[in-house]
Amino acid sequence: MRSSMIPARGRGGLIAALLGLFACGDDPYDAALEVGAPVGTRTSVVWPDQTHQELLFAVPEDDDLALLRVTLGDGDTRIAWVQPDLAGENVLALVVPASEKIEGIDDRLMRIAADGRSDAVEIPVRAPFSSISLGPDGRRAVLHFGGGPGAGVLQNQNQVALVDLGDDSVRDLTLNGFGGRLDAVHFPAADGLPVRVGAVDREILAFLADGEIVLVDAADPELDQAAVRFFPDVPFTPNATLLRRGNALYESPVLFLRSDTSNDVAMLTLVDRPDEVTGAPGFSAQVSLVPVGAGASDFLTHDGDETPFLVTVSGSTLAFTDIRTQQGFTIALDAAVGHLRLRTSETAAGPTPQLLAWANGGGIVYQLDLDGIEDALGRTPQRLTINGGIDALVSLDNDRALVGSGNTLYVLDFARSQVTPLTSTVPYDAASSALSGNQLLLGTPGQSWVSTVDLATLDPESMQLDEPIERFFHLPDADKLMIVHADAVGFVTVADATAPSRSTSTSRWGLFLGDLLERR
């Protein structure tokens, strides 16, 4: 690991220095500078430097920007991909041989602290995996080929590696399904907690493939996999999962599956199944198909006073299905929706679950209170109207969301049933946003400014930049914004996230040229 500080100087001084080197007949580059797209963590922005096989960490410190380099390989290796963990506390990178002609170099996953101030931890793996899926608690990761082929000539596309990022151990396995190619890896427990199946807590992983699904207990390497095949009996290829834990209304945990090729939702009830030879504890899935009308573009679960519901949406119809009897009822909306979300509404009677429903391209966000829903068949949802249509809806917290709509950004306050339009001469990308306390931070690529909105007063402000935004990062631990501009040698602006202003921000150019003389 090496570190350096880039001084706050204009481009002219550094260009003059480089021209001086060229005038002496020295080429500062051994090879063409190749730096990949950056990723953001809680404390830094990180670039993969393919030229030097390093990760470059830019870490804001008071009024300075520290640059730290962590070496991952050499001229015989290549950084296949880089990704932060979900907590933003580490950076993960896969290092593979630069060519199939190079022998004696193993593929390896590298883990580096987000501040770049420690050496990389090396985790050997057995294949040049193209994708990584991260568990919601940040402890587990699965390397796989779900995103496409890796760097190898011949690969087992159903080979995966289960990585425990707590102790950096690896469990290698090949999925024992029915021949379907792995498409995606899901961690069904959104909270990361184990799922009680019978009398045993299981850490369930779901491997989705063409016409089938394979379930694995990540915590038990001795346990057999549980595979469920749909095709060719049923044209069902799962593309979404939803876990319902067992409780008094329905004792067994259930994994629900959606598919674009079926009008039904698959219901996998997870039950004990001891090993037939040893009698050791195991689990399996009892499969049934739940008819939900014309299919489901989204789904969630809700427990009524006496009924465990599966809630689905198709077009303008919400369907509430009792998972015990497959009976239920529907609620018709006056416009089509495609997305569902649950929030908690504070009422005079106490906290109440509330359903939100909307469609990208639609113009309404529906709010439906779910308390006693089985006894309120005529209940009418509240409507929040988005006049320009919904390009995208991004949840900010339990009570608020941001909706992009052409040249208007709408701040939705569900607790107050309030819609506040913020207009601009150009469109904003609702996804290029962050929330810092009560401050909404906006940095849409292509714009030459960053904006803030005080969500208490809904007062917007903007700070003009010297160059357009290419990428926008909020570093919460540093309380900084780092705006990356398009430049071959690295150009960023660092601003105070609490109150961005030109007087307190700094720009740095030439980040990728640090330690130039030392590298020659």
Each residue's pLDDT tens digit, 326-344: 999 999 999 999 999 999 9
Q: How remote is the C-alpha of 245 from its chain's centroid?
A: 23
Task: Tell whether the model's pLDDT for residue 280 goes beyond 80.
Answer: no
Task: Tell whether the model's pLDDT for residue 18 goes beyond 60.
Answer: no
Sheet hosting strand 339-347, strand order edge to edge: 339-347, 350-358, 364-369, 382-385
Residue 348: Cβ-neighbour burial (10 angstroms; 0-12, 13-18, 19+): exposed
Task: Tell whether the model's pLDDT for residue 89 goes beyond 60.
Answer: yes
Instruction: Please give the single-letter amino acid code of residue 147.
Output: G
Closest CA to 422 of 392, 452, 456: 452
Same domain, 287 and 328: no
pLDDT digits (tens, 9 = 90+) for 455-477: 999 999 999 999 999 999 999 99
pLDDT reported for residue 282: 86
pLDDT reported for residue 377: 67
Cβ atoms of 469 and 447 closer than 8 Å = yes
Is the model more confident about 2 or about 491?
A: 491
Residue 351 domain-assigned (yes or no): yes
Same domain, 349 and 279: no
pLDDT bucket at 13, cuts 50 / 70 / 90: very low
The number of distinct structural domains making up the chain is 2
pLDDT digits (tens, 9 = 90+) for 137-185: 999 999 999 866 666 678 888 999 999 999 999 999 999 999 899 999 9
pLDDT reported for residue 360: 96
Distance in angstroms (rounded) separating the CA atoms of residues 365 and 344: 16
Q: What is the mean pLDDT of the chain?
A: 90
Same domain, 212 and 278: yes
pLDDT reported for residue 466: 95
**Lowest-confidence range among 6-15, 59-68, 139-148, 402-411?**
6-15
Same domain, 336 and 410: yes
pLDDT digits (tens, 9 = 90+) for 429-459: 999 999 998 999 999 999 999 999 999 999 9
pLDDT reported for residue 33: 86
pLDDT digits (tens, 9 = 90+) for 372-391: 998 876 688 999 999 989 99
Residue 24 domain-assigned (yes or no): no
pLDDT reported for residue 27: 52
Structure tokens at 400: 């608020």
pLDDT reported for residue 158: 92
Same domain, 277 and 340: no
- Among 362, 387, 422, identify where a domain stops: 422
Instruction: Please state whether the peptide bond connecting residue 232 to the residue before it is cis, i.e. omega within 30 degrees of 0.
Output: yes
Task: Tell whether the model's pLDDT for residue 515 goes beyond 90.
Answer: no
Same domain, 285 and 329: no
Residue 156 domain-assigned (yes or no): no
pLDDT reported for residue 5: 42
Instruction: Please give the single-letter amino acid code of residue 381.
Output: P
pLDDT reported for residue 10: 45
Task: Please name the residue that has the structure tokens 């996999």.
Answer: 225
pLDDT digits (tens, 9 = 90+) for 342-361: 999 998 888 999 999 999 99
pLDDT digits (tens, 9 = 90+) for 221-233: 988 899 999 988 8
- Among 378, 402, 422, identify where a domain stops: 422
Considering the chain, what percentage of its residues have pLDDT values greater than 90?
78
Residue 201 domain-assigned (yes or no): yes
pLDDT reported for residue 31: 52
Task: Tell whether the model's pLDDT for residue 278 goes beyond 90.
Answer: no
Same domain, 262 and 343: no
pLDDT reported for residue 303: 96
**Lowest-confidence range among 101-110, 463-472, 481-490?**
101-110
Distance in angstroms (rounded) separating the CA atoms of residues 515 and 2: 9
Residue 277 domain-assigned (yes or no): yes
CA Rg value for the chain? 26
- Enumerate residues 6+ apart whose C-beta is below 8 A from 15: none
Residue 363 domain-assigned (yes or no): yes
Task: Tell whether the model's pLDDT for residue 3 goes beyond 60.
Answer: no
- Enumerate residues 6+ apart whose C-beta is below 8 A from 329: 319, 320, 374, 377
Residue 449 domain-assigned (yes or no): no
- Enumerate residues 6+ apart whose C-beta is below 8 A from 158: 174, 175, 177, 181, 182, 209
- Among 369, 400, 422, identify where a domain stops: 422
Task: Tell whether the model's pLDDT for residue 494 goes beyond 60.
Answer: yes
Sheet hosting strand 140-144, strand order edge to edge: 131-134, 140-144, 159-164, 169-174
pTM of the complete model: 0.91
Same domain, 266 and 338: no
Domain that holds residue 237: 189-291
Considering the chain, what percentage of its residues have pLDDT values greater than 70?
91
Residue 367 domain-assigned (yes or no): yes
